[in-house]
Amino acid sequence: MTTPTRMEIQITGIRKHVAECVTETAGKACGVRSSAWDSPTQLNNWIRTHADKTGHTKYKKHTEEPVNTSAKRAE
Ligand SMILES: [Zn+2]
């Protein structure tokens, strides 16, 4: 017999900010991603640099948060 468990989800780190180029060329998204930064302000710099270099015009800004799962025994 197994003990019923409940999955706990816990944030384990700092929220990070990532920019992604979603500009489509010849039906295919560019897909290049920036590094992950603690602050969102550096995303605009990365986007400007990528746009200067490639002429790409469409981007997405993402936030990432690392989490862990752990099984807790139900009461
Ligand atoms: Zn691009």
Res 47: pLDDT? 98
Mean pLDDT of 3-30: 91
- Residue 56 Cα to ligand 1 midpoint, Å, equals 5
Burial of 43 per CB tally in 10 Å (0-12, 13-18, 19+): buried
Indicate the domain borders of the chain.
16-69
Around ion ligand 1, which residues have CB less than 5 A away? Answer: 21, 23, 30, 32, 54, 56
| Chain mean pLDDT for the chain | 92
Res 19: pLDDT? 98
- Residue 58 Cα to ligand 1 midpoint, Å, equals 8
Binning pLDDT at 50, 70 and 90, where does residue 64 land? very high
Binning pLDDT at 50, 70 and 90, where does residue 6 land? confident
Is pLDDT of 74 > 70? no
- Residue 42 Cα to ligand 1 midpoint, Å, equals 17
